[in-house]
Structure 1
Amino acid sequence: MSAPDHTSTTDLTTQPSTLASELFAPGVGAQAGPPTTPAADTGSAGEAAPGAHSHGGPTPTGSPAERLTSTDPDAFGVPTGREETWRFTPMKRVRALLDGAPSDAHLTWTTDLPEGVELTSVEADDPLLKGLPEPVDRLAALTRQRSGGAAVVRVAQEAQLDRPVTLGLAGAGGDDVVWGQLVVEVGAFAKATIVLDHTGLAKYSGGVSVLIGDSAQVTLVSVQDWAPGAVHGGQYDAVVGRDATFRQVVVTLGGDLVRLVSNVQYAGPGGSAELFGVYFADETQHQEHRLWVDHAVPNCTSNVLYKGALQGEQARTVWIGDVRIRPAATGTETYELNRNLVLTDGARADSVPNLEIETGEIVGAGHASATGRFDDEQLFYLCSRGIDAETARRLVVRGFFADVVQHIGIDSLQDRLMGTIEARLGALPGLEEQEVPA
């Protein structure tokens, strides 16, 4: 893989990879990906295990439990838009990525690496890449194939970083697709925050795999603040070690089309995953977020909270949340929530939570989804205290997003993103024409 352009406190070099098995305790699998065949005790394809409970997609075709994974793009075929995983995506806009043409184009990298972190690269045949969770669709498989290797961020065992690892990935335009693969390895008992900040103009397809060692604490922040016209597709995978904690915060504001697939798997019991997301789609923007949380081992927890807002003609957001609790995953506790705020006519939000439970021995599981306009009671409360209608609506939206953005934990980045949201709200049309309830 050609090295990305970057400025850094650490040079990008090619070194032998650290095997994923070094991150986890003996006897704990290096990765537990969504299987291409049913797991033990789940019954045959299309049949639920005894006592199973399922919400969501049809069975057998399209069920999250049967999701195909492969490193071969041809295993998925060429999407037409009629497939369950592509039916919400505007195929004309994503076609440039799905065509899969080889390219030497790259993003420009700027990096800030604290002590205890190294940035290296590995070639396509490196054992590290062969042990990663497999792609879940054709685009992710093309990315793995076309990237020619991967950049690797390594955080040493027991490291306590004094500041976040920051990778700025900027596009400079051009018609060629940029293919990229990033692997983040965090050693046991380490604590780290990694920020991926996407800006500029590009047609970009990227894969990100985060391998979290036992008892480590990792926060991954991915910001999509692209320029108008950018197209971004990506697969994010997290493998959570025994008693480890993973937090992911996804913020999608820019670009013409952004389609991200986030997957969480547990490599040992006691793991915890929190997935937070904020997205704000303006006129003609398409923002699509798909999540898969696979509970396959005992006593793990997951919590999902995504919030989105839409304004303008043909603004479109899609959120798909899939959680599976396998028969062996006793003691699981999970909840997922998606809320969407439609600010103007002509915008559309699709929200599909799915929950599949194959054991009755869990702590709790649930999901919820809500899409609507402003909360009239909140608006009335603010207006009754002398705040004008337009300001009141902006305060409601700011509060709507703030409880998610605060999970980033980096004040300067939080302020920047909330500033971008405020600027978007400044373009809201005709607020004074909408009646405030008396």
Structure 2
Amino acid sequence: MTTANTVEPAVQPHRRVLANKGDIFSSFDVADFPVPKGRDEEWRFTPLRRLHGLHDGTAGEPAPADIAVDAAEGVEVHRVRRGDERLGRAGTPVDRVAAQAFSSFDEAVVLEVGRGAEAGAQDPVTVRITGPGEGRVAYGHVVIDVAAGAHAAVVLDYRGSGAFADNVEFLVGDAASLTVVSLGNWAADAVHLSGHHGRLGRDAVLRHTVACFGGSVVRVIPRVAFTAPGGDAELLGVYFADDGQYFEQRLLVDHAVPNCRSNVMYKGALQGDPDSRLPDARTAWVGDVLIRENAGGTDTYELNRNLILTEGARADSVPNLEIETGEIAGAGHAATVGRFDDDQLFYLMSRGIPEEVARRLVVRGFFGEVIHRIPVESVRDRLTDLIDAELATVEL
């Protein structure tokens, strides 16, 4: 384990001028990264003082991670140590916390879906990650490897309390598909920082969803890379931030080969209480899509919409599109932060629906566009129930 006493190198290679967003420095060694500061671009929204030392090495001695797997037929589950050749293939940590997690986990979980297998078609494979407990810290690492021609659905179910940092790898082979949902329903004190790395083969399909409903601070960084033509990645997200909660998603879709498709759609709602002693409800979304010079025929779009339900809430939304070739099928992005759609509200009320009920229907419809895209029915139902529970506490 790398400790807080590690001497930082005199030369910081990640401070070089970047050719593009995909050229960001990465390393498995925590010593290669300086301690994050509030003025650093990649940390400028994050409340560093609330991370319980995950970012600067002061988090203390870690407890063992509690990671349980409910597997399905066609899935092999392996528990391996650091240094196993199956680790680190999808991507390398791009920040200090992710490198600290890679240097500090006790045991990694590797899920291997065999060639041509169908896993989780009815009930998804569930990886249940439980926090170490209030005042404690733990680190984890999960690899989901879907072989060529195989299909799998996996839920990463985060729960409990304490501070937790992890890396998750998704390897999707040629003509394979993976549906994965990262669902965070943490206790109120929890802090979770997670780096996701997806690597897609020829004609591979990744359906990736991040859902945030609990915790004090949750920061998820998905990165997707295409390695051969025909890849298709859909990155979805839903989040509902209450008073005292901070949720951040900072993603990159890296188109480096021709004729791949990506679609990004994240939607969030926020409710706060300006009279409480808790920090305001806060979210930050940064979406980067890079189309490299050799990625002709790319078709991509990214969307982030945020619904402010009360005072005492703030959402930051930063979509970025970097294009190095004009030979593309299509590219675009959009982002909004606002309140209710008054036209929808008027339409419902004009048909006799009470205003309070109409407002809740508008919020459910707002999230429904994302949730209906998730192909696993049990996950759709669970997310709908979580949104209903949030709405039950809102005075709209």
- Code of the residue aligned with 1:278 in structure 2: it is V
The answer on 1:203 being equivalent to 2:163 is yes
- CA displacement at 1:257 relative to structure 2: 0.5
The answer as to whether partners of 2:63 and 2:132 remain within 8 angstroms in 1 is: no
Partner of 2:85: 127
Q: Pick closer, same or farther for the CA change 1:389–1:107 going to 2, 3 Å.
A: farther
- In the TM superposition, 1:375-394 aligns within 5 A as 375-394=341-360
Aligned to 1:139: 97
Does residue 99 of structure 1 match 2:59? Answer: no
> Residue type matched to 2:79 in 1?
S
SS at match of 2:86: helix
Q: What amino acid is the match of 1:289?
A: Q
Q: Which residue of 2 aligns with 1:56?
A: none
| Residues 103-150 of structure 1 deviation map (CA, whole Å, 9 limit, x = unaligned) | 441343343211110110222112222534110111111111111452
Asked if 1:257 is matched to 2:217, the reply is: yes
Gaps of 5+ in 2: 2-12, 274-279
Which residue type is aligned with residue 232 of structure 2?
S
Match of 1:312 among 254, 272, 286: 272
Q: 1:422 aligns with which of 388, 393, 396?
A: 388
CA deviation digits over 1:199-226, x for unaligned, max 9? 1112110110011110001101110011
Which deviates more from structure 2 when the two are superposed, residues 158-167 or residues 403-412?
Answer: 403-412
CA drift at 1:172: 5.0
- The structure 2 residue matched to 1:89, chosen from 19, 27, 46, is 46
Q: Is 1:347 aligned with 2:346?
A: no
Conservation of the 8 A alpha-carbon contact between 1:125 and 1:149: no
The partner residue of 1:191 within 142, 147, 151 is 151
Aligned residue number for residue 5 of structure 2:
none
Conserved? CA contact 2:18–2:24, under 8 Å: no
**Residue 108 in structure 1 maps to residue 74 in structure 2:** no
Q: TM-score, normalised by structure 1?
A: 0.82
2:88 touches 2:169 (CA, 8 Å); kept in 1?
A: no
**Distance in structure 1 (CA, Å) of the matches to 2:115 and 2:162:** 35
Counterpart residue identity of residue 388, structure 1: P
Question: C-alpha separation between the residues in 1 aligned to 2:191 and 2:18?
Answer: 35
Alignment match, 1:74? 31
> Which residue of the partner structure matches residue 64 of structure 1?
21
Runs of 4+ in structure 1 off by over 4 angstroms are: 44-47
- Helix, strand or coil for the counterpart of 2:87? helix
Which of the residues 240, 246, 249 maps onto 1:286?
246
Residue 230 of structure 1 aligns with an amino acid whose one-letter code is A
Which amino acid counterpart does residue 124 of structure 2 have in structure 1?
A: P
The 5 A counterparts of 1:223-302 are 223-302=183-262
Give the whole-Å Cα distance in 2 for the aligned partners of 1:392 and 1:132: 45
Amino acid at match of 1:401: F
Distance verdict in 2 for CA 1:73–1:322, change over 3 Å: same
Where does residue 151 of structure 1 map in the other structure? Answer: 109
Q: Is the 8 A contact 1:180 1:206 kept in 2?
A: yes
Q: Equivalent residues in 2 for 1:408-419 (5 A)? A: 408-419=374-385
Matched, 1:324 2:290: yes
The TM-score normalised by the length of structure 2 is 0.91
Deviations 1:340-372 (A, max 9, x none): 000011100000001100011111111110110
Letter in 2 for 1:79: P
3-state SS of 1:121 partner: strand
Partner SS, residue 214 of structure 1: coil
Q: Give, in whole Å, the separation in 1 of the partners of 2:234 and 2:78.
A: 28
Task: Report the equivalent of 1:14.
Answer: none
Identity of aligned residues (%): 51
Change (3 A) 1:128 1:107: closer
CA distance in 1, matches of 2:366, 2:355: 16
Contact 1:45 1:66 survives alignment (8 Å)? no
Ranges in structure 1 where 5+ consecutive residues have no aligned partner: 2-35, 38-43, 48-62, 432-438
Instruction: Name the counterpart of 1:212.
Output: 172
